[in-house]
Amino acid sequence: MKKLIALSFFIAMISCGKENQKKQHSDPVVSAIPPYDTVAIDSFSAGATSVDVARKIRISSLQYQDSLRQVQKKLEEEKLLNKVKEEKEKAVKETKDKNVKEEEIKKKTTEIPASQRTVNP
């Protein structure tokens, strides 16, 4: 009986030990592969950039700068147009105000009755 218990205990230890060994081997293999791409990091090391890639980068940066300049020019033109428009509106408003004041002055002079006008001899 003692041999049967010892044998079952020995078999249980062996079967449990095999699963742990599989897990131990699988963890280092999985962790050895990085979860991200290292190609981009490695390609920017010293001397790794090819002439064509560098030229494309320069061209794209020039295009980007040109597009920024165009946007800036458009914004400046819009500001100038808005400023001119505001000046025109202001001038029109001032002329209307002057006309209204002149009409009020004319009405005041015509509204004075003749009896109130006195002429000194």
Res 115: pLDDT: 62
Res 85: pLDDT: 96
42, 48 Cβ separation under 8 angstroms: yes
Q: Look-up: residue for tokens 């963890």? A: 27
Tell me the residue type at 7: L
Res 54: pLDDT: 75
Res 31: pLDDT: 57
Phi, psi of 49 (to 5 degrees): -85, 125
Res 11: pLDDT: 86
Phi, psi of 35 (to 5 degrees): -80, 5
> Which stretches in the chain have pLDDT values below 70?
17-49, 111-121
Res 109: pLDDT: 76
**pLDDT tens track for 32-66:** 666 666 666 555 556 666 777 777 888 888 888 88
CA angle 103, 108, 112 (to 5 degrees): 145
Who's near 43: CB < 8 A, 6+ residues apart? 49
